[in-house]
């Protein structure tokens, strides 16, 4: 199987106090934190292509251009929907939109690179 343009992904969560800007340190309000929205978006993208990877491969995020458009309160459900928009060798590009129960809350362009897990981890831990 190969990763192709059009592959879609979905990630969902319930916003809890631990997901707020105040708790994660990205602000002082009890609203859904941008870093948490980014993680949800990245999770949708990651999960969408995982079934297409060979044994011993994974993908890592390398770029995220994100806009957080609307605040979400604790207790509301959020979801991120991703779609593969380009595949260039090992680089995969996604368009991602995030929503809460009231509508769109964010959008992003995201890039991931397919890696050989063992080689990637060896190179990473060689830094020590």
Which residues have a catalytic role annotated? 34, 42, 68
- Contacting residues for 103 by C-beta, under 8 A, at least 6 apart: 70
DSSP for 28-42? SSSBB-HHHHHHHHH
Instruction: Measure the CA–CA gap between 6 and 31, rounded to whole angstroms.
Output: 32
- Contacting residues for 10 by C-beta, under 8 A, at least 6 apart: 44, 47, 48, 79, 80, 81, 82
């Amino acid at each position: 199987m190969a990763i192709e343009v059009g592959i879609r992904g979905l990630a969902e969560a319930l916003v809890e106090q631990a997901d707020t800007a105040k708790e994660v340190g990205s602000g002082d309000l009890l609203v859904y934190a941008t870093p948490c929205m980014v993680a949800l978006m990245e999770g949708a993208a990651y999960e969408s292509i995982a079934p297409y990877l060979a044994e011993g491969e994974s993908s890592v995020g390398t770029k995220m251009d994100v806009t957080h458009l609307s605040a979400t309160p604790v207790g509301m459900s959020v979801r991120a929907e991703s779609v593969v928009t380009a595949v260039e060798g090992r680089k995969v590009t996604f368009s991602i939109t995030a929503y809460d129960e009231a509508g769109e809350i964010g959008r992003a362009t995201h890039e991931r690179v397919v890696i050989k897990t063992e080689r990637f981890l060896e190179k990473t831990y060689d830094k020590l």
